[in-house]
Structure 1
């Protein structure tokens, strides 16, 4: 038992809570790596991209892993911007505006993209058109993905950023040494508040991100039937 536990008998419970929250954060990070790789696979197959998959660095810090996801997402956004620019160039202005109109039916948008997607990619399937419609100029790229990047950057810049991903295996006291160097009531409470704050934002952003990617993959499957 740490010396501070005699002064603050609730500290062991607080350690357990930080341990639990840390694991939740790791689970969210792991899920985001998986979802990003799923999207990378779809883009590589259907839009002719050459994006690299990413792997969680178990020996790195929270910040380093957040940065890995951010870098991958930025790469995805750049590829989608290229497709968007090509569609804008090839389509009539009125047709391009329809792609940006959330009131337009998805089937109509896919039909519009199909007219020019083969010119852009050289050879393309209906699934490629569906992917382009789902991702280019939609709230997936302008809102959902951007929100996740913002939250990841905030986590990396917080006191959690310097904590190692594999710190749980080294013993829970390592987490607190990584944060402030001593285990006291106020420091444990600060750690818990930081985890809770960022987890709420991260869970919300990542759930929307995962749902958006699931919608893309489901649409692709329907187009390939």
Structure 2
């Protein structure tokens, strides 16, 4: 028990609460790393992209790891936009509009994309067409990724950004550098509040992102059976 805990017994409880919140944040970050790598692998395999896998830097801080994911997500968006630009250029305007029409059947959209997918890949495959439709005709790379990128940037710029990924496991005192219990108490309360505020939105956005990518890969697995 830290010496300050004798005067401020609630600090010990706050430390544990902060530890738990930190672990939840790390779990969300880890899920985002995994989901991003999963989507990159699909794009590399079926849409001839050259996206690199990413790995959490366990010696870095929260901001550094948020930046790694943001950079990878922006590269994914750029690749999907590249495919979309080719489709827009090569398809007749009426056909391209059908791709954006939510009332149009997915099977019809896949057939439309397959007409020109060979321009991108050198060959036309139904699997590649399906992946293109799933990504371009949905909100995965626009709304969902944009939301997650915004939240990751906010977390990186917040009080949490400078906290090391693994430091909490070594002891909270190493992070907060608190000497007096009153100072530590205020820092703990501020840190907890910051975690709670960001976790609510981040967990929700992370789950939607992961679910959306699972839907893409699930469709892919069904077509490959």
Both structures adopt the same fold (TM-score exceeding 0.5) = yes
2:150 counterpart SS class? helix
1: CA distance, partners of 2:207 / 2:215: 12
Alignment correspondent of 2:199? 199
Shift of residue 3, structure 1, vs aligned partner: 3.6
Over residues 143-195 of structure 1, what are the superposed CA-to-partner deviations in whole Å (9 max), with x where a residue is unaligned?
A: 00111100100100001000011113322222323xx7865222211111111
Q: 1:94 — aligned with what?
A: 94
- 1:168 equivalent to 2:174? Answer no
Identify if the C-alpha distance between structure 1 residues 181 and 59 changes in structure 2 by more than 3 Å, giving closer, same or farther: farther
Matches within 5 A, 1:108-123: 108-123=108-123
Please name the residue that 1:154 is paired with: 154
**TM-score, length basis structure 2:** 0.94
Number of aligned positions between the proteins? 223
Q: Corresponding residue for 2:26?
A: 26
Question: What are the residue-to-residue correspondences of 1:23-172 with 2, within 5 Å?
Answer: 23-172=23-172
For residues 115-165 of structure 1, the C-alpha deviation after alignment (integer angstroms, 9 at most, x for no partner) is 111122212421111110111142111100111100100100001000011
Q: Distance in 2 between matches of 1:124 and 1:67?
A: 35
RMSD of aligned residue pairs (Cα, Å): 1.5
Q: Helix, strand or coil: the match of 1:78?
A: helix
C-alpha displacement of 1:95: 0.9
Q: 1:106 Cα shift?
A: 1.3
CA distance in 2, matches of 1:181, 1:163: 18
Unaligned runs of 5+ in 1: none
The gaps in structure 2 that reach 5 residues or longer are none
Quote the offset at 1:6 in angstroms.
Answer: 2.8
- Distance, in Å, in 1 between the alignment partners of 2:160 and 2:103 is 41
CA pair 9-217 structure 1, distance change in 2 beyond 3 A: same
Distance 1:64 1:172 in 2: 20
Aligned residue for 1:165, secondary structure, equals coil
